[in-house]
């Protein structure tokens, strides 16, 4: 028996025989063409795009795919294939390099995928799998090689692979594929989203797993804890069968909470919002009982295309989301570019990019990009409750500069009689110690704070969470971090402005009681975690949370705090741990 730990991306427990499939990359050799063959190769590219678009359109409307989330993911692929600038990059490559269509497609898409994969933000880096999926689809049209789709199976299996594309995952039969485990992947990839939509347990980022599993292996996949067990003992199988029964009961209980209020036992209401990256993901927030969008990341508009997004691109993306929420809040964060998120055509070479030209600093030094986004945002503000949020504000001067540019854009719209909401709420993310320590001053110039715990922890503790050597030191359960959060909450309440927590801490069940006890009443979290967090909120009283927060305030070590808040959460909802 061997136990392997990865990242849990889709909940559930299954036991079945392993099916190891070859999902490795298709290599395309470079072949040169004569100048007279350019037009023919460009024509082949056009035919391949047309065929891929028709295929995706059929998949979208197919009776075998009836989940909106999956249709939406294929819509993202379609938008990419319909982007004229993307196709032009491929044809320009053929014209200049004199290569075959298939080599140009493979080279350009792998260049884009590599750009995404190298970005530290998991929400963006995990989109590389979508680019590989599109590459496979185009290459199949060009070279006629069959895609890696499985033949009908005669038994239940757990798929083991290096990686899986969204299309492969959407093609799985839930009655036959009882789960999957991959060597690569992450929580927010479209493959993971499809797995959750289909209800297929999944664990990813397991490292070299395909070489450890044989065709005769029996597998337990635990999509809640991020564990797979290879060739388990009978006692282990029985334990997991009982555990799976308990999880099914919990799932039914959480599903029943969708339309119930997120309020404590003593009647204190808590607002639960969702964090999203794409307009298509907003539907999941509603399905899980979310009350709006607390963090709408907008970087995808810059990183998914070879050209800069136009004002209309911004407007359409925001309009689609705000219309779907019918008057509920949609907090849109202006572009958080720089560091490792640099649009095509913009080159930054910095020794320490995380401390360099990023987020609001990048915006203030790239005013045409910033103003284009603000125009699209303001135009969409008349459609619903849109709120604008500036990221990584470090001091009052930066906030006032950003607001001055916003007013300039408003004046431009006035000049052309373009409607917008002149009272659109403007807030900031508290992500730096300097912002946290001067929150009382910043509060006078904005309508709300949103505490971004991911960067606040990183900058406060001087810990790079992506660095495996120090990542264990990255935690919100540090007295320094909690002291800053407590101070920001106090200053926001004193100034009578809105306050939310939108970092990953808001999605972690063990921190919910602590945040409530510290005075937080709005949480913005990963959509799949909304029901679980709601259950915790509905199971406690504010007095219990206040008591826990006072006890934590007297503690002086990370370990002591983590153990205490985890034990408290386990007593309330043991099934979640």
**Catalytic positions, please?**
190, 502
Instruction: Tell me which residue has tokens 């036991």.
Output: 15
- Dihedral, 58, 64, 66, 69 alpha carbons, nearest 10: -70
Q: What does 136-160 look like in DSSP terms, one character per residue? A: HHHHHHHH-PPP--PPPPSS-EEEE
Distance CA 117, CA 128 (A): 6
Distance CA 28, CA 43 (A): 19
Residues 6+ apart with CB under 8 A from 299: 121, 124, 277, 335, 336, 337, 341
Q: How far is CA 511 from the centre of its chain?
A: 20
Per-residue burial over 495-531, b if 16 or more Cβ lie within 10 Å, else e, is: bebbbbbbbbbbbbbbbbbbbbbbbbbbbbbbbbbbb
Q: Are 73 and 280 in contact (CB under 8 A)?
A: yes
Residues paired with residue 159 on neighbouring β-strands, in sequence order: 19, 180
Sheet of strand 7-10, all strands in order from the earlier edge strand to the far edge: 2-5, 227-230, 218-222, 13-20, 157-161, 177-182, 202-204, 7-10
Per-residue burial over 278-307, b if 16 or more Cβ lie within 10 Å, else e, is: bbbbbbbbbbbbbbbbbbbbbbbbbbbbbb
Instruction: Tell me which residue has tokens 């990686």.
Output: 163
* 3-state SS, residue 498: strand
Residues 6+ apart with CB under 8 A from 245: none
Q: What does 461-487 look like in DSSP terms, one character per residue? A: HT--TT-TTTGGG--S-SHHHHHHHHH
Distance CA 195, CA 188 (A): 11
> How far apart, in Å, are the Cα atoms of 347 and each of 18, 337, 339, 342?
45, 12, 10, 7
Distance CA 268, CA 272 (A): 13
Residues paired with residue 330 on neighbouring β-strands, in sequence order: 293, 386
Q: Are 369 and 314 in contact (CB under 8 A)?
A: no
């Amino acid at each position: 028996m061997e136990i392997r730990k990865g990242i849990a991306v889709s909940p559930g427990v299954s036991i079945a025989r392993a099916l190891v499939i070859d999902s490795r990359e298709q290599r395309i050799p470079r072949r040169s063409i004569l100048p007279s063959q350019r037009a023919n190769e460009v024509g082949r590219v056009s035919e391949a795009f047309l065929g891929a678009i028709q295929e995706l359109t059929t998949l979208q409307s197919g009776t075998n795919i009836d989940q909106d989330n999956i249709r939406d993911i294929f819509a993202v692929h379609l938008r990419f294939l319909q982007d004229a600038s993307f196709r032009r990059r491929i044809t320009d490559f053929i014209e200049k390099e004199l290569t075959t269509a298939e080599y140009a497609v493979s080279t350009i898409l792998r260049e884009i995928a590599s750009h995404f994969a190298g970005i530290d933000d998991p929400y963006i880096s995990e989109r590389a799998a979508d680019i590989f999926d599109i590459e496979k689809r185009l290459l199949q049209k060009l070279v006629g090689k069959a895609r890696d789709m499985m033949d009908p199976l005669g038994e239940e299996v757990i798929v083991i692979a290096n990686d899986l594309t969204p299309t492969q995952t959407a093609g799985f039969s839930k009655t036959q594929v009882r789960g999957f485990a991959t060597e690569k992947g992450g929580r927010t990839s479209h493959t993971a989203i499809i797995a959750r939509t289909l209800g297929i347990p999944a664990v990813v980022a397991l490292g070299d797993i395909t070489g450890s599993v044989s065709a005769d292996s029996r597998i337990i996949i635990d999509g809640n804890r991020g564990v797979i067990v290879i060739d388990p003992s009978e006692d282990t199988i029985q334990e997991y069968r009982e555990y799976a029964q308990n999880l099914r009961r919990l799932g039914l209980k959480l599903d029943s909470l969708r339309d119930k209020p997120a309020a404590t036992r003593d009647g204190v209401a808590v607002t639960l919002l969702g964090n999203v990256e794409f307009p298509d993901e907003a539907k999941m927030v509603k399905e899980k009982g979310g009350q709006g969008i607390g963090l709408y990341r907008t970087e995808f508009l810059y990183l998914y295309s070879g050209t800069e997004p136009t004002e209309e691109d911004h407007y359409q993306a925001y309009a689609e989301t705000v219309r779907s929420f019918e008057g509920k809040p949609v907090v849109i964060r202006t572009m958080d570019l720089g560091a490792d998120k640099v649009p095509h055509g913009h080159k930054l070479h910095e020794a320490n990019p995380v401390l360099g030209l990023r987020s609001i600093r990048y915006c203030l030094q790239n005013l045409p990009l910033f103003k284009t986004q603000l125009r699209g945002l303001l135009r969409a503000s008349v459609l619903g409750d849109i709120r604008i949020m500036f990221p990584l504000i470090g001091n009052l001067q930066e906030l006032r500069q950003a607001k001055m540019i916003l007013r300039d854009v408003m004046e431009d719209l006035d000049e052309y009689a373009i409607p917008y909401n002149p009272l659109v709420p403007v807030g900031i993310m508290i992500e730096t110690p300097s912002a946290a320590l001067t929150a009382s001053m910043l509060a006078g110039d904005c309508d709300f704070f949103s505490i971004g715990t991911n960067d606040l922890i990183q900058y406060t503790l001087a810990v790079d969470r992506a660095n495996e050597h120090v990542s264990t030191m990255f935690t919100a359960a540090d007295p320094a971090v909690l002291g800053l959060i407590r101070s920001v909450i106090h200053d926001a309440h004193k100034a009578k402005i809105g306050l939310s927590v939108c970092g990953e801490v808001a999605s972690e069940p063990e921190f919910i009681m602590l945040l409530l006890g510290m005075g937080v009443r709005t949480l913005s979290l990963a959509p799949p975690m909304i029901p679980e967090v709601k259950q915790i909120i509905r199971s406690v009283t504010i007095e219990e949370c206040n008591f826990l927060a006072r006890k934590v305030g007297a503690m002086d070590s990370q370990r002591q705090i983590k153990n205490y808040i985890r034990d408290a959460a386990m007593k309330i909802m043991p099934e979640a741990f």
